[in-house]
């Protein structure tokens, strides 16, 4: 089975939680590269991120977290849909983004 190295960009609060200094981390993903497989690999490497991006039980994306890659909003894509080739090849990162608050807080 193929192993890909996927670049993931995390928002500041999650970088602090994962104790990483750079905005980007790299995770190894075996098999198909999807939102689910990337996030599974991310949480395996950084267990403190469990529950912060996806709900512990439903594994659904938390409402105010968005996923982007290649200038596309992938937040509403199936978690099992293949990510763009540029993410799979490592040319582009997969971005985990905190939704804007609209000035509310």
Partner 1 sequence: MSKVRVLVGTRKGAFILESDGKRQKWDVSGPHFAGWEMYHIKGSPVDSNRLYASQSSGWFGQLMQRSNDGGKTWEPVDNKFLYDGVPGTHQWYDGKPHPWEFKRVWHLEPSLTDPDTVYAGVEDAALFRTTDGGKTWNELPGLRGHGSGSRWQPGAGGMGLHTILLDRSDPGRMYIAISAAGAFRTDDGGTTWKPINRGLKSQYIPDPDAEVGHCVHRIAMHPSRPSVLFMQKHWDVMRTDDAGEQWREISGNLPTDFGFVIDVHAHEPETVYVVPIKSDSEHFPLEGKLRVYRSKTGGDEWEPLTKGLPQSDCYVDVLRAAMAIDSLDSCGVYFGTTGGQVYASSDSGDSWNPIVRDLPAVLSVEVQTLA
Binding stretches for partner 1 (CB under 8 A): 11, 13-14, 17, 48, 50-53, 55-57, 62, 64-65, 98-99, 105
Exposed / middle / buried, residue 32 (Cβ in 10 Å: 0-12, 13-18, 19+): middle
Q: Which is nearer to partner 1, 36 or 62 (CB)?
A: 62
> What is the smallest separation between the CB atom of 102 and partner 1, expressed in angstroms?
12
Q: How far apart are CA 61 and CA 38, in angstroms?
A: 13
Q: Kindly tell me which of 1 and 105 has the beta carbon lying closer to partner 1.
A: 105
The terminus-to-terminus CA distance of the chain in angstroms comes to: 46
Beta bridge partners of 47: none
Task: Tell me how far, at minimum, the Cβ of 48 lies from partner 1, in Å.
Answer: 5
Query: In this complex, which beta carbon is closest to partner 1, that of residue 3 or of residue 105?
Result: 105
CB of 83 to partner 1, least distance (A): 22
Using an 8 Å Cβ cutoff, are 31 and 61 in contact?
A: no
């Amino acid at each position: 089975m193929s192993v890909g190295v996927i670049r993931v960009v995390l928002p500041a609060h999650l970088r602090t939680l994962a104790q990483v200094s750079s905005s980007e981390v790299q995770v190894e993903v075996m098999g198909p590269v999807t939102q689910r497989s990337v996030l599974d690999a991310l949480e395996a490497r950084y267990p403190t991120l469990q529950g912060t991006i996806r709900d512990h039980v439903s594994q659904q994306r938390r409402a105010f977290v968005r996923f982007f890659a290649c200038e596309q909003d992938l937040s509403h894509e199936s978690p099992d849909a293949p990510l763009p080739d540029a993410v799979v090849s490592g040319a582009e990162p997969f971005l985990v983004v905190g939704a804007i608050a609209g000035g509310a807080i």
